[in-house]
Structure 1
Amino acid sequence: MTTLFNSSQEIVFVLHGLTFTQTNGHIYFVFILLLYLFTIFINLTLVFAIALEKMLHDPMYLFLCNLCFNGVIGASSFYPKILFDILFDSHVITYIGCLTQVFVIYSYIYCECTNLTVMAYDRYVAICKPLHYHSIMTTNNMWTLIFLTWLFSWLECGIGMGLLVRLPLCNINIDKLYCSNWAVVKLSCIDTTLNNIYGFIQIFFHVSQFTFIVISYLNIIRACLHSRAHRSKFTQTCLPHLIILSNFLISLLFDVMYARYGSNTSLLALRNIMAVEFLVVPPLVNPIVYGMNLSQIRNRVGQMFNRKVAV
């Protein structure tokens, strides 16, 4: 099959995942806008609370700060486009816009996975090797881990984008609410074996991260069985991490497997929900779960708002 487009044409994709009527479109718009603003607000509140309080400049809190900052990026990769589509009844996106959305979404995904892995390692050292925690999690090591989290995420995403942009396209219809890597790959006119191989390498890498997290938590649970103090630490810091991790991985796994092997003609509502769940729920839930569970953050946020009320 030959390509439908030449190099001088501007490709515009058509997104087919959004279905609503003009009657309820404004209701959806207001609800989604409020959800987006609230998500940004609570994430930035936690980021500023940690950044402005020197007592919270420990590795655990700064990794959480990094997680919430990444949540802002993840939410912003999806909400503005869907709000624009609803408001103006638009279901198209340019080639450059599509590639930009793919890059931002996958940077968010890779950074989220890596940051959750780093957080699991931090909790493992804190609970299983408490006497060596400050010698292992030094300030330099902490910032190095944060830097490597972003570096590996951008590098992994950059390689995937390089493999994506080389593909000539024979179709413009994307059966999804937003642009995704595999949705664009399926529109290619040529063999995509190389993209498939790289996709499986990525899956193997992230499964390895998940395996590392499982091993870390098995050791943490074993240590908690022999210490009440460790059980308290587990409940306060590890349990929220497990909830966030499980939610993110389940929704992401469903989206990946359905995109590759699912049918485009069935379960549209469920498919749309699961396709956006990892972009909507983690950025919304992460700061709430940690903010409610960690008293230091709760107190700092309370001080910030009490000060504003006093002024």
Structure 2
Amino acid sequence: MMNSSQVSYFTLTAYLDSGALKYLYFTVVVFLYIVIVTANVLLIVVICVNRSLHEPMYMFLCSLFVNELYGSTGLFPFLLLQILSDVHTVSAPLCFLQIFCLYTYANLQLSNLAIMSYDRYLAICCPLHYHTRMSSSKVSMLIALMWLSPFLAISVVIYLSAPLQLCGNIINKVYCDNNSIVKLACSDTTANNVYGVLGAIFITISSVSLILYTYMRILKVCFSGSKQTRQKAISTCTPHLASLLNFSCGSFFDTAQNRSNMNHVPNMLRTLLSLYWLICPPLFNPLLYGLNLTKIRIICKGLIFVKCRCLMLKFRQGSALVKRK
């Protein structure tokens, strides 16, 4: 029996002995990370630089994209190092740091999507009172609360897990997971389990209840409203619903793997399912919102057009200089 403070490292056993294929996996993961960082940073810059996008909906979107960069950075550099390594171990402090990053990312993602659904409800169902109910001070307060709460909540998770007495150091995943560490404990884990269950129930029920309530009201307005109202609702709610479904599926896959025996599932498939909630939302959300929201799409097209025009002008100037010589 050993205390987790005496455990210098954890071993991650979900990595495959891929041999030369590890360089292919490394290349694929690097490509995904570059795409995620580029797409999310581009949209963050577009929203921050353009005053026309300094509206509540786009501020919440900016918060969503920042969170996706945060969550991706908590996973991808670590994943890349592990893919190239022949010994898949991670120090205990780094393991708990990754747990903190990934768990706060998940809580933030769900809270952000819930606040965005509330914002869409006010915009569609209460358009005349929207700017008074969703003032800049209220937006700032909601974003601050949305970011602060998960950091405090997950700090308690780490505080409860770090002192546990452990009977092993094997985690059957490609990243550190708090549930796996709690399962290794030889000491009493009642506080961990009760806090974990109550916390998950609170964040899930509160967020899902808000989302269901807002969409029930939006649907009611759509059925009784004009064609223009329905079109506005569809254009702004479609990417949000797709984003919510994408994240929910990933969370379900990960929860199913934590709570049930999935030894009959191939190791590669288990690994992909456990990574879904960490890779697919940051990868697809910028595309969903960038392509579906008219203002963002027009501004991005304008930036690309200006960039291409500058490159063409430089090319022509260079060609002219060559001809003169």
The TM tier, using the shorter chain, reads: over 0.9
Alignment of 1:260-279 (within 5 A): 260-264=259-263, 266-279=265-278
CA contact (8 A) 2:75 2:175 kept: yes
Find the counterpart in structure 1 of residue 86 from structure 2.
89
Alignment of 1:103-122 (within 5 A): 103-122=100-119
Alignment of 1:205-244 (within 5 A): 205=202, 206-225=204-223, 226-244=225-243
**Cα distance, 1:251 vs structure 2:** 1.6
Structure 2: how far apart are the matches of 1:203 and 1:262? Answer: 21
Structure 2: how far apart are the matches of 1:266 and 1:292? Answer: 36
Counterpart selection for 1:79 from 66, 76, 80: 76
Structure 2: how far apart are the matches of 1:90 and 1:197? Answer: 34
AA in 1 matched with 2:136: T
- Structure 2 residue matching 1:209: 3-state secondary structure: helix
Alignment of 1:81-160 (within 5 A): 81-160=78-157
1:227/1:41 Cα in 2 relative to 1: closer, same or farther (>3 Å)? same
1:196/1:264 Cα in 2 relative to 1: closer, same or farther (>3 Å)? farther
Unaligned runs of 5+ in 1: none
Structure 1: how far apart are the matches of 2:25 and 2:253? Answer: 25
TM-score normalized with structure 1 length: 0.95
Structure 2: how far apart are the matches of 1:227 and 1:15? Answer: 56
Find the counterpart in structure 1 of residue 298 from structure 2.
299
Find the counterpart in structure 1 of residue 319 from structure 2.
none
Structure 1: how far apart are the matches of 2:256 and 2:191? Answer: 18
Find the counterpart in structure 2 of residue 249 from structure 1.
248
**Cα distance, 1:146 vs structure 2:** 0.5
User: What CA deviation, in whole Å up to 9, does each residue of 1:58-108 have, x standing for no partner?
Assistant: 000110011011011111111111111112333110000100000000110
| Count of residues in Structure 1 that have an aligned counterpart in Structure 2 | 308
**Cα distance, 1:197 vs structure 2:** 0.7
Find the counterpart in structure 2 of residue 56 from structure 1.
53
Higher alpha-carbon Rg: 2
Counterpart selection for 2:175 from 160, 175, 178: 178
- Structure 1 residue matching 2:11: 3-state secondary structure: strand
Structure 2: how far apart are the matches of 1:271 and 1:25? Answer: 18
Does residue 47 (structure 1) correspond to residue 32 (structure 2)? The answer is no
User: What CA deviation, in whole Å up to 9, does each residue of 1:114-152 have, x standing for no partner?
Assistant: 100100000000111111101100000011110010011
Find the counterpart in structure 1 of residue 30 from structure 2.
33
Find the counterpart in structure 1 of residue 190 from structure 2.
193
CA contact (8 A) 1:168 1:188 kept: yes
- Structure 1 residue matching 2:2: 3-state secondary structure: coil
Q: What is the aligned-residue identity percentage? A: 36
Find the counterpart in structure 1 of residue 287 from structure 2.
288
Moved more, 88-97 or 279-288: 88-97
AA in 2 matched with 1:243: A
1:154/1:6 Cα in 2 relative to 1: closer, same or farther (>3 Å)? closer
**Cα distance, 1:156 vs structure 2:** 1.3
Structure 2: how far apart are the matches of 1:138 and 1:83? Answer: 42
1:112/1:101 Cα in 2 relative to 1: closer, same or farther (>3 Å)? same
AA in 2 matched with 1:292: L
- Structure 1 residue matching 2:151: 3-state secondary structure: helix
AA in 1 matched with 2:126: K
**Cα distance, 1:4 vs structure 2:** 2.9
